[in-house]
Amino acid sequence: NAGVTQTPKFQVLKTGQSMTLQCAQDMNHNSMYWYRQDPGMGLRLIYYSASEGTTDKGEVPNGYNVSRLNKREFSLRLESAAPSQTSVYFCASSANRGGSYNSPLHFGNGTRLTVT
């Protein structure tokens, strides 16, 4: 079982460049999430999608955009990368309906992004 697959695993960008992080899940989950992880700060929610066709801002959405392409795929785009966006990015999915958070999250292995 693949679970949640993220690509790429590593990326180095220069300030101002753009890129899209891809995420796909094969568990038929309704909800998908994008988090960033920074040392000593736990996880911070960037955007989430409670169901196919809907997206909502999380705690730190500035500088990011998302697309819920279909039930399986949820991409995160950085339009103009900044050094403050250097982080590890995790995609997650869950069987949660709406924003209930009753069910556990299943995480991908992350993308390590460095912006110079």
| Interacting residue ranges for other proteins, rule: CB under 8 A | 4, 40-45, 58-59, 90, 92, 99-102, 104-110
| Closer residue to other proteins (CB): 64 or 90 | 90
Residue 27 and residue 106 in contact, taking contact as beta carbons nearer than 8 Å: yes
Give CA–CA dist 116/65, Å, rounded.
Answer: 20
| Closer residue to other proteins (CB): 59 or 79 | 59
**In the complex, minimum distance from the CB of residue 7 to other proteins, in angstroms, rounded to a whole number:** 14
**In the complex, minimum distance from the CB of residue 112 to other proteins, in angstroms, rounded to a whole number:** 9
**In the complex, minimum distance from the CB of residue 105 to other proteins, in angstroms, rounded to a whole number:** 7
- Give the amino acid at 54: T
95: helix, strand or coil:
coil
| Closer residue to other proteins (CB): 48 or 64 | 48
Give CA–CA dist 90/47, Å, rounded.
Answer: 11
Look up tokens 């309704």; give the residue: 30
